Chain A
């Protein structure tokens, strides 16, 4: 029996179904840089968070309207799950664009597994993935009101910029300014100093609002995961706040043409952190 003709299980605390599993799989790909993720389900949809080193955080949002059916019987449900396993199962029938896999997810509250049912062409896969106690998620305290500089670019342009830069460099310097060079990405590595400028009047730039010149350094190794999200996105919004914290909001279009967002937060590297293990400062650091 096809997944979608089954009625939502009345006993589940959380239940959602979608006719194309790739619309979940592809968004999760954009934050799949560690093997575990924390899943938050609220009435608005799902947020999947992946963190590393207390310095970078990726959040994938799948709003409830993306699903054909979405039901939550509590205010919210949170659990930690192995993202490697989840992605293997979401793509169990292969990655080809021919044929569509229907997906149903169910969760019965604290301590219970995430139950998935996937169906394609008459073959059905039933799975149960153990969930774990969710970790405390960092709050980067990034507020729109504190944004000093904001640029929206076509994703391709940023992807090329990142690809052109010297990956032997430990750091990526991001300069944003109301005056020239407006928006500059720099690295300093084995190949010397490398700059990539994106002028504000470039046709790759959709929005440019910079009130102050800011130049911040971020660890290249931490930003690497964002490349995946950028390469899947149509547009990217780059914002830096008064502390130099970076927010990258990537706008992705799924196979049904719907828009989903993936947001990365990254804290800057202080120059005198070079000698320490953890190069980030922020309200939550433990240095």
Chain B
């Protein structure tokens, strides 16, 4: 197994850092899947993370000038690693002014992802900061756990209001209650509601953009009436983590509501796509 990637473009390095920072806010551990064309950050649906799941994929050519890999075998030319996103965040902190970033799969005492950040220096030669991040190689027999989740049939699909606004509102509502009910209809109305013994608060948005549906993307269920609200009551902290981490500046954030089941977020960006699913909390 071999993996080497390098970037000398500071913008791409920053973008990559932003992706890692966003992911780390959402979850602690995740799986990094490397293929010749793409990098995937995966958190499968598990009871231990409250049923939340995430799927992020990016085209390596949008981030790296050099990208070489040899997977676990010729037939299965992929590598699956379990990583702690926070450790990578810390490594990337040194890359603010980097001249180049190199990532390699290495073997120290344990398998590691080694990050080499080349920094400018007043002396003629550059300074290199190296971080060895221990990773766990996931064996082939477990790869089935990390497949792309099937998109569930959702009832309502629309674009979220500006995330900065949602972040302010969610931070306040988080101080009032553990649960948040997100409701939306296909006409572009969305509400965020908390309800406790002492207080009820509901924030409403109208006229939200409805994304266009083409053959590739899944359209909402035609059986669901346009003005009917689909709702899901979720753990507000999961939603808050998702909002607070956002550093990608997406083109759009699409929200799919599966009534009484889950909220599915889809971040659309030129260089990557990120999906995040928060299931409902049952009383």
- B202/A127 in contact, CB under 8 A: yes
**Whose C-beta in chain A lies nearest to the C-beta of B161?**
A123
Residues of chain B contacted by A89 (CB below 8 angstroms): 172, 176, 199, 201
**A85 touches which of B168, B169, B176, B204 (Cβ 8 Å):** B176
Query: Chain B 190-229, CB within 8 Å of chain A: the 1/0 string?
Result: 0000000111111111110000000000000000000000
A interface majority secondary structure: mixed
With known contacts A89-B172, A93-B168, A125–B197 Cβ distance under 8 A: no
Complex CA distance for A122 and B206, rounded to whole angstroms: 8
In A219-253, the 8 Å CB interface with B consists of none
Query: Chain A 116-136, CB within 8 Å of chain B: the 1/0 string?
Result: 000001111111111000000
- B198/A92 in contact, CB under 8 A: no
Interface size class of B (residues with CB under 8 A): 10 to 19
Q: Does A215 contact B (CB under 8 A)?
A: no
Complex CA distance for A121 and B173, rounded to whole angstroms: 19
With known contacts A93-B168, A123-B165, A130–B205 Cβ distance under 8 A: no
Q: Does A254 contact B (CB under 8 A)?
A: no
- B207/A122 in contact, CB under 8 A: yes
Q: How many residues of A contact B (CB 8 A)?
A: 19
**Whose C-beta in chain B lies nearest to the C-beta of A99?**
B165
Residues of chain B contacted by A84 (CB below 8 angstroms): 175
- B197/A126 in contact, CB under 8 A: no
Residues of chain A contacted by B205 (CB below 8 angstroms): 122-123
**B204 touches which of A88, A91, A124, A129 (Cβ 8 Å):** A124
**B172 touches which of A88, A123, A128 (Cβ 8 Å):** A88
Query: Chain B 117-154, CB within 8 Å of chain A: the 1/0 string?
Result: 00000000000000000000000000000000000000
Q: Does A82 contact B (CB under 8 A)?
A: yes
Residues of chain A contacted by B165 (CB below 8 angstroms): 93-94, 121, 123
Q: How far is the CB of A25 from chain B (nearest CB, A)?
A: 12
**Whose C-beta in chain B lies nearest to the C-beta of A120?**
B165
Counting chain B CB atoms within 10 Å of each CB, the highest count among A94, A125, A130 belongs to: A125
- A128/B168 in contact, CB under 8 A: no
Complex CA distance for A84 and B199, rounded to whole angstroms: 11
Complex CA distance for A93 and B165, rounded to whole angstroms: 7
- B202/A85 in contact, CB under 8 A: no
Residues of chain A contacted by B168 (CB below 8 angstroms): 92-94
Q: Can you list 15 contacts pairing A with B, beta carbon distance less than 8 Å?
A: A84-B175, A89-B176, A92-B168, A92-B169, A94-B168, A94-B169, A121-B165, A123-B161, A123-B204, A123-B205, A125-B204, A127-B199, A128-B201, A129-B198, A130-B198
Interface residues of A (CB under 8 A from B): 82, 84-85, 88-89, 91-94, 121-130
List 11 additional A-B contacts (Cβ < 8 Å) besides A94-B165, A121-B165, A127-B200: A84-B175, A88-B175, A92-B203, A93-B169, A122-B207, A123-B165, A123-B204, A125-B204, A126-B202, A127-B202, A128-B199
